[in-house]
Amino acid sequence: MTAATDLRVRIGKAWIKAGREIERLGYRAKIAQPKLLGPAIRGPLVQLYRADADFTTEVGFVNYLTFYLLDADIGITVTATAYDRNGKRLGSDRHRLGRKQALQRPLEELVGAPLDSHGLFTIEAEYDAAAVDGIAFLGQTAPQFMTLFVPQAEGAAAPQILHSHKGFRRRGVPYSPCRWESPVIERLAAVEAYSIFVVNACRSRLAGRVELGGLGESTAIWRADYGVPACGVGRIDLQPTALGLPLDQPFRFACDFDRRTPHRKPILFRRFADGSITGNHS
């Protein structure tokens, strides 16, 4: 690493740290003065969607305030916004959940627009103004939703569910390289194909590399570079049989990022010989 690159990394990390501190102070101020500043609600939160030959995407919500204030008539308004794979905004709409209500619909209905084959969507939450006093004891809260990838094929496996959601940065993220290594051991012989999705949850272009390596080995046996536009999603497909490797050996995925975006775990979908597909944060 050159001196110039090292300085750039230090500046990037300092900028990110300062941004987090400002965000933390903002939430603390809202917790202290909810009537003046509004409730401290984390968001927007971001997740992947698919609308291709394998999956459609549905999103489920519940009025989670009902579980804290059983007798209160407090509503939650959620805003769903979808982007295409290149970060173009496709549509957005608001939906209100009353007391003890739940909602689950296809994402394209929630945002009021056709979807790309894959991309990201964000969720934001607002509470009824009358609820500010009643929920102040909760401190910081966050939208609660479930993402369901529903198989297109009849008789396919159950929907794949993702619940882990990361923050969406409305601004860019400076150069701040980092590396993620999966704790999951991959047995290539059991998998016909991988689809790897890299979610860029910020306003800066994201670049890096996905690698597959043997346990305890420092050199990757497969790698693929990627570049993802701001607010976009990159997809990399891999067929293990095309690698010419001993498929009975254990391997692990890793991913390099050129900046510390909030969503630093690729999402892996694995297709098996029986046609079933599983998906999870790798």
- Of 78, 75, 58, 15, the closest CA to residue 162 belongs to 58
Query: First-to-last CA distance in the chain?
Result: 29
Q: Which strands make up the sheet holding 76-83, listed edge to edge?
A: 89-97, 76-83, 118-127, 45-50, 166-167
Q: What is the pLDDT of residue 69?
A: 77
Residue 18's pLDDT band, with cuts at 50, 70 and 90, is: low
Return d(Cα 107, Cα 194) in angstroms, integer.
Answer: 24
pLDDT digit string, tens, across residues 189-220: 889 999 999 999 988 999 999 999 888 777 88
pTM of the model: 0.88
Highest mean pLDDT among 157-161, 202-206, 274-278: 202-206
Residue 63 has which token pair? 């009025």
> Of 281, 257, 232, nearest to 121 (Cα)?
232
Is the model's pLDDT at 96 over the cut of 90?
Answer: yes
Local confidence band at 11 (pLDDT 50, 70, 90 cut-offs): low
Closest listed residue to residue 203, CA positions, set 165, 185, 236, 230: 230
Q: Is 131 left (phi over 0), alpha (psi -120 to 50) or beta?
A: alpha
- For the four alpha carbons of 203, 208, 211 and 217, in that order, the dihedral sign comes to negative
pLDDT tens for each residue of 250-274: 899 999 999 888 888 899 999 998 8
Do 195 and 235 meet the contact criterion of CB atoms below 8 Å apart?
A: yes
Higher-confidence residue of 30 and 106: namely: 106
Q: Is 273 exposed, middle or buried (0-12, 13-18, 19+ CB in 10 A)?
A: exposed
Q: Tell me what the mean pLDDT of segment 83-89 comes to.
A: 97
Residue with tokens 């890299």: 198
Where does the pLDDT of residue 37 fall: very low under 50, low under 70, confident under 90, or very high at 90 and above? low
Judged against a pLDDT cut of 90, whether residue 148 lies above it is answered with: yes
Q: Which amino acid is at 180?
A: W
Report whether 33 contacts 131 (CB < 8 A).
no
